[in-house]
Amino acid sequence: MRKKTVLWLQSGGCGGCTMSLLCAQTPNLFSVLDDFGLEMLWHPSLSEESSDEVIGLLEDICAGRRKLDILCFEGSVMRGPNNTGRFHMLAGTGRPMIDWLRDLAPLAEHVVAVGTCAAFGGITSAGANITDACGLQYEGYQPGGALGDAFRAGAGLPVINVAGCPTHPNWVLETFMMLADESLRAEDLDPLRRPRFYADHLVHHGCSRNEYYEFKASAMHLSELGCMMENLGCVGTQAHGDCNTRAWNGEGSCTRGGYPCINCTAPEFEEPNRVFTQTPKIGNIPIGLPTDMPKAWFIALASLSKAATPRRLRVNATSHRLIEAPSVKDSPLK
């Protein structure tokens, strides 16, 4: 069977999604490519080909001499200055990257935006966005972006947004596997066109601090063990991602590392209109409530659980390490 081809381009980003991808273990990137019939035509960090060898490949694809199955694009699309795209001219070609993207994307069977920059604009579009950076098919929450809302790749899907800053290596690899065996359908993408296999989870799921959350035993400062929702800006109860059930770099996640979830899989995470590590409140109530939770119930349950917080959790929540261990019972558990 013919191998499916993959072309990977980088533009207005940090390269961190590629660096993260190389952290994949069992299977790693190379095993997935080999075992799922994928041929990496060119990747800027991995391939031998440079300069004219690469430009020849791009020209072959544009002229229809080479079939492109999966186009991966990492980093924001640079539209500035003044809509020329010249803030990123693809080296050696004298052409803005946005022009190459617009030529190549319609020729691909699938287009994958790797990372939040490519999906929605991301960190590169923060602040006044003087470079006019955007995502492939979104500008923040606004559909459109560099390719326009109506864009569909050859196989009929819109741009697949593997959002995350950075992406978890397996979000990219599992997307590859599903594209390779043609099992990813339109209904497998969520309303922001992120693969549901990771975006239909909340970061809160599996959070190692959940007992603190249940009793509203909150950390006051970074590194303390308690729940970070009330004071430290954590939006894990609203953010989409399976970060705490699949874990990062072995056993990690942001909340396990002692700092809050900043919702990096979402559009406009880069401009929360507050300090990233501080929770905005009205009175004593955080503005952002857990997803699908009615406000009145949250307030009622929060005040009830605060009143019922066991001493152990209250003590540990504002400590940097466990002060009081869970008690050991002297008879079999019932």
Residues 158-217 that bind other proteins (CB under 8 A): 165-166
Identify the H or E element spanning 4: strand 4-10
Distance CA 138, CA 72 (A): 16
Structural tokens at position 84: 């020329």
For helices 51-62 and 97-104, the axis angle rounded to 10 degrees is 40
Distances (CA, A) of 192 to 200, 238, 240: 11, 15, 11
Per CB under 8 A, 245 contacts other proteins: no
Q: How far is the CB of 303 from other proteins (least distance, A)?
A: 29
Per CB under 8 A, 218 contacts other proteins: no
Residue among 7, 12, 112, 119 that touches other proteins (CB under 8 A): 12
The candidate with the shortest Cα–Cα distance to 205, out of 240, 229, 173, is 240
Residue placing its CB nearer to other proteins in the complex, 75 or 286: 75
Among the listed ranges 41-49, 206-214, 279-287, 300-308, the one in contact with other proteins (CB under 8 A) is 41-49
Q: How far is the CB of 135 from other proteins (least distance, A)?
A: 14
Residue among 38, 119, 123, 134 that touches other proteins (CB under 8 A): 123
Among the listed ranges 62-70, 252-260, 286-294, 302-310, the one in contact with other proteins (CB under 8 A) is 252-260
Q: How far is the CB of 206 from other proteins (least distance, A)?
A: 14
Per CB under 8 A, 22 contacts other proteins: yes
Q: How far is the CB of 223 from other proteins (least distance, A)?
A: 4
Q: How far is the CB of 315 from other proteins (least distance, A)?
A: 15
Residue among 65, 185, 186, 275 that touches other proteins (CB under 8 A): 275
Q: How far is the CB of 224 from other proteins (least distance, A)?
A: 9
Contact assessment for residue 190 and residue 240, using Cβ atoms and an 8 Å cutoff: yes
Per CB under 8 A, 276 contacts other proteins: yes
Distance CA 334, CA 322 (A): 26
Q: How far is the CB of 295 from other proteins (least distance, A)?
A: 27
Residue among 133, 134, 136, 162 that touches other proteins (CB under 8 A): 133
Helices (H), 123-168: none
Distance CA 154, CA 231 (A): 47
Within 24-85, strands assigned E span: 38-42, 68-74, 77-78
Residue among 65, 185, 196, 221 that touches other proteins (CB under 8 A): 221
Per CB under 8 A, 255 contacts other proteins: yes
**267 prior amide bond cis, ω within 30:** no
Structural tokens at position 256: 């396990």
Per CB under 8 A, 45 contacts other proteins: yes
Residue placing its CB nearer to other proteins in the complex, 250 or 294: 250
The candidate with the shortest Cα–Cα distance to 199, out of 164, 151, 250, is 164
Number of residues this chain uses to bind other proteins (CB under 8 A): 82
Residue 300: phi and psi, rounded to 5, are -65, -50
Number of neighbours of residue 174 by Cβ within 10 angstroms:
18
Per CB under 8 A, 29 contacts other proteins: yes
Per CB under 8 A, 121 contacts other proteins: no
What contacts 24+ positions apart, CB below 8 Å, involve 289-296? 289/237, 289/238, 290/204, 290/237, 290/238, 291/202, 291/237, 291/238, 293/237
Per CB under 8 A, 281 contacts other proteins: no
Per CB under 8 A, 286 contacts other proteins: no
Q: How far is the CB of 302 from other proteins (least distance, A)?
A: 25
